[in-house]
Structure 1
């Protein structure tokens, strides 16, 4: 764990997939499902679509900052359509949103989320979740893991705050909580998350290694690069 600065932080904006949820355990099967759907059941085309969107169909490795690593439903849908899906992007977006919402019921958390969030709230911190997934999926995760009373702000790509790496989700969190960007830490597993934090002027930008990013891809753009979110409490102490 390497940390460069630790300003006074009063709020944290978490990415969801790869940050709160273990990416490989949660999304590997989902990526294969969505590719087969987009290929209308053709396994050869499904593999080609996976590769076009950033996943090796044999190893399951997802390229950091690729569409599957960092894109929202609309962006992934456009990539699938351009790569040869027989469905258009509008149809694919709706199908992907439905798949992602259903997948939230099977997602694997990085750690027990409610105890961690409770400890962070006990420090007086405001907490938010900002994801390239749709808002319905985020709220499913919140209900599933008992975070309803612990999360102060939710933003998906369809919540009206713009998309990563633009700063809108962080600025929306600030507007909802009364904090300034300098009081906020942004935590994520890829450079879209880190750039969102930088673009918003966040006081602390933290990368975690439980998603598609690596220490090599995250260290340059982060103030701290952690193995996972359980190490946050150490750098906030």
Structure 2
């Protein structure tokens, strides 16, 4: 029996994939190293900014001494975009409010930094439905490692088979499956609505 639903944030509850891409590229462009969109989707999508910069240092010789500065710029640019574009989504508010009313425990587990998760959850007005959220700063190993989901499941006092995770990208799906929980894969934020989530939960109970 499913007792909790864990959500990824970017690409699941918040349509922020392009925000992260644009913010990072804005910072990288200052050093002549923007990432092509195809490369971002195939290699970098869903990874923490620090991991993206590590890959760029290995593949394109981005000086490691620039990592802290670029990371800081990227986070500032992300917040700037979020304040402009992050708005409440009725379908998501309805889904989380109904799930909460039905007694499900709810949490967000994101590869974004804590400040970004907190900001976007508040701006989208989804924070009021969550029991808690975890960011990449709350674990030693970010997705695709399952640590963030394992930690969330343990914090809820549940077993993996009592939890369903909603994820969208390759790295997140790998982490979700490795946690031992049930998984609902979505392609975009519009796939995340109450009826779809409940249909998956009901199917798992059969």
**Fold similarity call, TM over 0.5:** yes
Tell me how large the CA RMSD over aligned residues is: 2.5
Query: How far off its partner does 1:29 sit?
Result: 5.2
Q: CA deviation at 1:168?
A: 1.5
- Structure 1 position 186 matched with structure 2 position 157: no
Matches within 5 A, 1:11-26: 11-22=4-15, 26=16
Can you give the 5+ residue segments of structure 1 that lack an aligned partner in the other structure? 1-7, 212-226
**CA distance in structure 2 between the partners assigned to 1:235 and 1:160 by the alignment:** 28
Residues 133/125 of structure 1: CA separation in 2 closer, same or farther (3 Å cut): same
Please say if 1:35 is aligned against 2:25: yes
Going by fraction, where is helix more abundant, 1 or 2?
2
**Does structure 1 conserve the Cα–Cα contact (< 8 Å) formed by 2:53 and 2:67?**
yes
TM-superposed deviation, 1:155 = 1.1
In structure 2, what is the Cα distance between the partners aligned to 1:157 and 1:124?
Answer: 27
User: Partner residue of 2:54?
Assistant: 78
SS, match of residue 63 in structure 1: helix
- State the TM-score, normalized to the length of structure 2: 0.83
TM-score (normalised: structure 1): 0.73
Structure-2 separation of matches of 1:178 and 1:29: 34
1:38 shift after superposition: 1.5
CA shift, 1:85, in A, is 4.6
Aligned ranges for residues 1-237 of structure 1 at < 5 Å? 8-22=1-15, 26-28=16-18, 30-40=20-30, 45-46=32-33, 49-51=34-36, 55-56=37-38, 62-64=40-42, 66-67=43-44, 69-82=45-58, 83=60, 85=62, 88-105=66-83, 106-107=85-86, 111-160=90-139, 162-202=141-181, 204-210=182-188, 228-230=191-193, 231-237=196-202
What secondary structure, in the 3-state scheme, does the structure 1 residue paired with 2:155 have?
helix
Question: Partners in 2 of 1:149 and 1:109 — Cα distance?
Answer: 12
